[in-house]
Structure 1
């Protein structure tokens, strides 16, 4: 069982992993914390983008010799293959780590999986540590990976006024967590220039049917897409099962009518209320499909990043 120090370290690792949102794809956003043999944090790291050091390597570099005999706390199972970068499980072994605490097993892991190889080398391995909390960052990547189609968020403003400014604010607030932003017929990176160009490109064609287009986005490296504006409702209507999350900016209205009445049909079938954030001019409502029908299927599967 994970100790209190390890649970705190895992939550720190989850927070660190979020710094990679919008730039790691097609790799997952991963965070890692190294504890010394006394349970004190001596190194932290996260994965920024494919082709660069993984979270474990960055954390081990920060820890230096203090990692010897210590514990690695990581949000996703250390990879078990040598690709663009070395295998993380071997880096942990070489550093003298004696225990590895993992939140989620990697469903794309090759061979026996990093956790199995670590255990075979006599390292104490614990898995499935607070996975629901880790899914707050890793969930969209897992969903996209499982079905080979990007996680799609639809955001729009529900307002009696000009919605253009509200949509621009939504884009500004949400774009840094996503790979692609689709607005009208314009497609761009969520974080301009954030991805490794040799591993990520924009799809050539914005026209055509939604499902093949989403598949093309996945093939070119995208794992998350943000579509902004109510005008997307037409394209999404017959493919609403492709939508994983909805964010609606709802303007404040009188208690007896107007937008207060319009919110009656705010939650479509198949979605649950995930969060409501009040602001000075209204509220932002976040809806998502239940995790049981999304990425949770990836938690218990045998475990590449």
Structure 2
């Protein structure tokens, strides 16, 4: 079985040029200039992967799903990566750890980090296998741990405690380069966010990698106020089954006047810092609206008592009158636990 698994992985990696190197699929920029930091948010669909390059050193945070392994390997090759100083699995879910096996099988690594050292899935076991084939062991960092990637410094901010929910075990990292900063949150949800706030973690950052693909379970108002980002990046798959990014999260980002970048709309996204300012380059659709307002507010909204969805009063999907409840404004509907209709987008 192990021989078969290795042959399958080798075949996937051999096809990586086709998977990621075709027309329109290249990264929006090449390796960083001397004296610069680059953060690459790799488009791995409904998953997460980011590559940090600075001063000839590199850190890979997550690798997408198992099926993204060859894409990530090809992306690293396009950036001239020949080794990985740090490989970070933020948490053990397949859409974060699955694609790390390819890079670990192709590139020598110095340090491999994850919040746990055992997890009973094939994706995580393969992650462990390729780590150990390099003579390394997975280590679990603690809040306050620091290291450097070139001239950039990395600080662990979470998880602050043990959690049953795997999302909340996500390693949360703050990356500082000169006067600029980036925050990587994995899939950390509100409980983990609240614990970081209570611990007084240094959360303020210029760029926020939005938690859990823009789910409404993350990026709470208190957390967003503390981070106070100028920019946000959402790693999310086009037309995904989860409805990510959720409108509640996008509304909070609009309220905070945050400029949003999205992999589902813009492909690979690269943020470049010179230590004083940050610029962005995207693979496609540079001018696409990434967080448009939902139009003028209606004078009232109609909720469906059964589905807990609320609508504009002119929506074609209104429920039968006996199942309707009226809200004076959008805020009242959201506070009552209702979610916006995907058709009329109230």
TM-score class, shorter-chain normalisation, is: 0.3 to 0.5
Higher relative contact order (CA 8 A, sep 6+): 1
Pick the structure with more helix per residue.
1
> What is the TM-score when the length of structure 2 is the normalising length?
0.32
> What is the TM-score when the length of structure 1 is the normalising length?
0.35
